[in-house]
Amino acid sequence: MSLHHELKDRERVGRLHADSLAKVLAMQLVRRYSYLKDLQTSRGGMSPRKLRKAIEFINNNLDEEQAVGLAAVADEVQMSYSHFSRAFKQSMGVSPNVYMTEQRIERAKKMLSETDFRIADIALRTGFASQSHFTQHFPQASLDHA
């Protein structure tokens, strides 16, 4: 509310205060809600830079099952397929395949609640091969997060 009030203020001091508040808010949001907050940098895990790059690549290409194959992600972060898979799991606590499925399910849940698309369309738009492939994973993911 304070930030909103300061943004309305036309004085220079108000704008400077608003800029400062925005930076503090952004830092708090990143610290609190970042996927990387539980990052493990112990032996065998990925460097934070490579992990961030892998997650960004996965999230940007999630709806294209071929583009976001593990080999493509490993290539993107310049690691071998097997080393990437082990290091990702060590750093994130789940395998890359599980992470990608969880992200697809989250996108599908959002689309189910915000659109009128058919389930088959949502399945394809979120990167599942078919509606049956989607429904195979959806109940399991919903129970895992309940």
Tokens read off for 3: 């930030």
Q: Taking the domains of the chain in order of start, what are their residue ranges?
A: 2-33, 48-144
Model pLDDT for residues 15-40, shown as the tens digit of each residue = 565 666 666 666 666 666 665 544 44
Is the predicted pLDDT of residue 69 greater than 50, yes or no?
Answer: yes
**How far apart are the C-alpha atoms of 117 and 19, rounded to whole Å?**
40
Per-residue model confidence (pLDDT) at position 43: 58
Residue 6, helix vs strand vs coil: helix
More confident residue, 125 or 84: 84
The fold for domain 48-144 equals: Arc Repressor Mutant, subunit A (1.10.10)
- pLDDT averaged over the chain? 77
Per-residue model confidence (pLDDT) at position 134: 82
**How far apart are the C-alpha atoms of 74 and 81, rounded to whole Å?**
5
* DSSP letter, residue 146: -
One-letter identity of residue 68 = V
Taking alpha carbons only, the member of 41, 21, 18, 40 closest to residue 29 is 21
**How far apart are the C-alpha atoms of 102 and 89, rounded to whole Å?**
14
Model pLDDT for residues 111-129, shown as the tens digit of each residue = 888 999 998 888 888 877 7
CA within 13 Å, CB half, 71: 1
Tokens read off for 126: 């979120």
